[in-house]
Structure 1
Amino acid sequence: MSVDHFWCRLPGPVVDTCSPEELGELVPRDRDVRYDRLAAAGLALGVRRTAALMELALTENGLHPDPAARLPVYGGGRREPGTETLVMRPDQVAAASTFLRDSALGELVRQQHSVLARTVARLGHPTPWSESVAARVVDDLRDLRDFFAGAAAAGDAVVVRGSDPSAKETT
């Protein structure tokens, strides 16, 4: 089963006026025409199968005591328990953007090589950890950095439709 992780930028006040269900509907569920339009405008980002690996690269082994390390992938809070969307307010978006901007993303992935390799095996990826998988994680982190930079510059909130970090992913 392919697990995807999506981020969507929204003007900050929108997150206060929408119900959790409405917010969930604003974030793509699949890579489709709607997603393509939002992504082309810089308003959405999606990754396939790398969210858990991205999170580990940013946070594993206590290398980053900064709480902002947890924000980019699985950060924010649930507007209502049991909903699948997470909301990051503009101040959290700015903190995540600063953290990503100030991090050597390729180096973080390299430093976490062993942890990421074990995670790929644990999650049952048919493709073992390799330089090409590492490069995809770094590319996805760079895309995430650029996405958050745009959102922070605009003062936007970010809504995340996340994959469960404990869910089994496949490539």
Structure 2
Amino acid sequence: MTEPVVSLARHGDMAVLTIANPPVNALSKAVVAGLAEAVLAFEADRSFAGLLVHCTGRTFVAGGDIGSFDDPAFSAAPYNRTLARIEAQDRPVVATLHGTVLGGGLELALACHARVALPGTQFGLPEVKLGLLPGSLGTQRLPRAVGVRLALDMISTGRSLDAEAARDAGIVDAVRAGD
């Protein structure tokens, strides 16, 4: 099994943060640590005009590493600190979304300043189906994006939205076919 990889690369004046943790880019401890390191590197290099958050493979982040939740030392705090740093950036942070954007993946996308999705992308906070509540401020960021009524429905039922419905609701800024 390969180790998850989070990298930061330069493309012109843009930084591209790539998460590669097949098969679903789950937020393992290693991914969370790599994400924090990449955000620190972006913050330190003022020559970048902005940050693009991207995942390899068939999906964006499709949630957390559920197996790690049983570890008594598990804490969402490191991930939450990184999401707060992303949200507070003074340069634009854009997420490019595909596949499924679920749980912690949706919380990551919502911390970004803008979101662009491929058609067919699914968005949701399905934690309630596992007897959990979103643990990385999805319960705060989602209502700000879509309003209380829809957010409460999505959080309490685990219902997901497709890309077009997510755009219409305010989760996604644009839906664009890949080139």
* TM-score of the alignment, normalized to the shorter chain, above 0.5: no
Which protein, 1 or 2, shows the higher relative CO under an 8 Å CA cutoff with sep ≥ 6? 1
TM class by shorter chain equals under 0.3
TM-score w.r.t. the length of structure 2 is 0.26
Q: Which has the higher helix share?
A: 1
Q: Which has the higher strand share?
A: 2
TM-score w.r.t. the length of structure 1 is 0.27
